[in-house]
Structure 1
Amino acid sequence: MANRHIVFVPGKNPKPRAAQHRELLWRTLVEGVRRADSHVAEELQHGREQFHLASWNYLYYHKYKDVTREIPWIDALINKHGPTKQDIQDANSWKVRISGFILNLVDHVPVLIRLLPEDARSTDQEIRRYFSNGDNVAAEMRKLVKHILRPLLEKQEPVLLIGHSLGSVIAYDALWEMTHQEKLQGKVDFLTIGSPLGMHYIQRYLMGMNGGRRKSYPGLIRHWINLSSEGDLVSLKRNLYDSFGAMLEQGLVESIEDHCQGIYNFFCTNEGLNSHRSFGYLVNPAVGSIIADWWKRN
């Protein structure tokens, strides 16, 4: 089997210990691919060691998450083959629409952040902590990503880098550092899911766009595919082409694609639908098809 590698950078919040988290992610990823292409899924079953997890969360939160209670919900997700009518209603509910409207306002007028619910304010605080790099924690998080990517780039092996949520921001910044500070050569394919990279307040602080620097972008991305589910408020500004299309004009990427219409993340717990969870994205055949196509091309 060709040495193809999938590198996953998770989103915010404490996660299980790396081995357990990796196994749960791998399980849902393979199931999502199986729904799109069963032959590729069979190949993937033999490529477990080529799936890498950039497990940065303990560095940031100093604790692990006990997912024992969530495993039945992950099992249920794997046995669920699409959104229910209720899932679709919940993802498009008036509550989600109002929250999205407020988030759009806050993105342009940050002082309005006090209007957000507590969980959204908490998310904002965590993102600001990342960008402020207190105790050098953000640099250490990116170091974990670069430690995985560097040897793969040097060996010129095919890499699909998947960034979920805040993980997509960490991955982007790591690629910028490897481009402009380490001067590395090579390309990875970049898949962002549930990404906040379209938000203005995120873009202001990305590597190459902050501190009064002239805008510059990573040079290590070949194809960039972005996918967002209906009702996912973290990836509110879905079309990343609108924000990063200059990378195409500068010849830094071959393509930027947004897949953001009619896709539902149907991960549910006893608290209801969660349109943002990584497991729900990975098990979705829309993501599975992207991964399967990449696997066949490389």
Structure 2
Amino acid sequence: MIIIHGRSIKPRFHIKEKMVRASLIEGIRRLDNNAAYALENNEVKVSLIYYGDILNRILVDKNPELTKRMTSIGDNWYVPDGRDTKQLEKLLSRPLNSHTKSDYQALIEKNEIIKFGDDIARAVSPILNVFGINRRVINRVLPDLGGYINSRVISSEIRERLQPTLKKALLEKDDIVLISHSMGCILAYDVLWKFSRMSEYKELWNKKVGLWLTLGCPLGEPAVKESLYDSNEPNDGMYPKNIVDWVNVSAQDDFISHDGSLNDDFHQMIDRDLIRSIKDIQQIYTFWVDSKGHCNPHKLYGYLNHPRVAEILIEWIYKSG
């Protein structure tokens, strides 16, 4: 199991890893103690692909005011240890039967939803894309994502965080579920394409990821699609060809994945027999609330801890076992 986080400022690696594992394991424990035990005891190996230090460096450089709510460690800045501990504990304690639409509506009646990103996405994607200024807007509003899209140096540095781990798992013929969130979906797509298309990775051409699980995925956005590694490839070189099944999960009010359907954007992968299936699971209800009382349906912890995501991963655990 390989997990790739998304954008924005991050805590140190070991803190992020601890919170990701807790969200994942406790979400699975709600449904299946045996599957949770397998993860806790490393019967199923879990690797977090971390590039938060790179994102922090970019974001602090663009906005030095961020340092007022971050901690300096070494030559970089990080989200303070323990900042989200109470919020995570509250998320993990939510009962299995309290993930319904009415539960979500009750939550957002008491807490404000983070909406600015949705406004940007809706305005930028269908309208401004016609004028070719999408990338400039992304670079201004989301400089870490803009760095990946617009800088070969930064994008290469970030991709290198995933490539060795995924390459090793593929060569060892492991059963792989690749879980990517937000910006991590772009990173995963580009690496999957490279491994299945570029001549320097020919030894990997016949190796496949059994399941790619995307959470809060922005790959349906025109500006994002135009920045993917294969965007300028001839027609016969488009799309990765090393994924067996792709499941895409999007949450209600997630401002990054408001286009929750990817099957219609990437259906040619099925038509060309490059992938067996692409399944969209839309409008699940996630329950992350930050320390300021803001609901963030896009948060990775909310996705990983959700029963529907747990069901998908439990099924994979038993199949791979």
Partner of residue 138 from structure 1, selected from 142, 149, 155: 155
Partner of residue 17 from structure 1, selected from 12, 16, 25: 12
TM-score relative to the length of structure 2: 0.81
Partner of residue 258 from structure 2, selected from 225, 231, 236: 236
Deviation at 1:90, TM superposition (A): 7.6
Alignment partner, residue 191 of structure 1: 213
**Structure 2 CA distance for partners of 1:267 and 1:121, relative to 1, 3 Å:** farther
Q: Which runs of 5+ in 2 are unaligned?
A: 58-76, 132-136
Partner of residue 269 from structure 1, selected from 279, 287, 290: 290
**Structure 2 CA distance for partners of 1:242 and 1:232, relative to 1, 3 Å:** same
Alignment partner, residue 79 of structure 1: 93
Equivalenced residue count is 284
| Aligned pairs (5 A) from 1:175-190 | 175-181=192-198, 182-183=201-202, 184=204, 185-188=206-209, 189-190=211-212
Partner of residue 109 from structure 1, selected from 102, 112, 127: 127
What secondary structure, in the 3-state scheme, does the structure 2 residue paired with 1:196 have? coil
TM-score relative to the length of structure 1: 0.87
Partner of residue 126 from structure 1, selected from 125, 140, 144: 144
State the distance in 2 between where 1:167 and 1:123 align.
18
State the distance in 2 between where 1:292 and 1:49 align.
11
**Structure 2 CA distance for partners of 1:122 and 1:33, relative to 1, 3 Å:** farther
Deviation at 1:159, TM superposition (A): 0.8
What secondary structure, in the 3-state scheme, does the structure 2 residue paired with 1:68 have? coil
Deviation at 1:111, TM superposition (A): 6.9
State the distance in 2 between where 1:233 and 1:15 align.
19
Residue by residue over 1:33-64, the C-alpha shift from the partner in whole angstroms, topping out at 9 and shown as x without a partner, is 11232221122221277110111121232332
Q: Which runs of 5+ in 1 are unaligned?
A: 1-5, 114-118
Deviation at 1:21, TM superposition (A): 1.1
**Structure 2 CA distance for partners of 1:102 and 1:145, relative to 1, 3 Å:** closer
State the distance in 2 between where 1:88 and 1:120 align.
27
1:162 maps to 2:179: yes
| Structure 1 contact 91–231 (Cα < 8 Å) conserved | no
State the distance in 1 between where 2:139 and 2:166 align.
32
1:26 maps to 2:21: yes
| Aligned pairs (5 A) from 1:218-233 | 218-233=240-255
Segment of structure 1 superposing worse, 15-24 or 223-232: 15-24
| Aligned pairs (5 A) from 1:254-293 | 254-261=276-283, 263-271=284-292, 272-293=294-315
Match for 1:66: what amino acid?
Answer: P
1:205 maps to 2:237: no
Alignment partner, residue 80 of structure 2: 66
Matched residues, percent identical?
27
State the distance in 2 between where 1:123 and 1:142 align.
22
Aligned CA-pair RMSD? 2.7
| Structure 2 contact 139–145 (Cα < 8 Å) conserved | no
Question: Which protein has greater RCO, CA pairs closer than 8 Å, 6+ apart?
Answer: 1
Alignment partner, residue 3 of structure 1: none
State the distance in 2 between where 1:23 and 1:129 align.
27
1:45 maps to 2:40: yes
| Structure 2 contact 139–146 (Cα < 8 Å) conserved | no
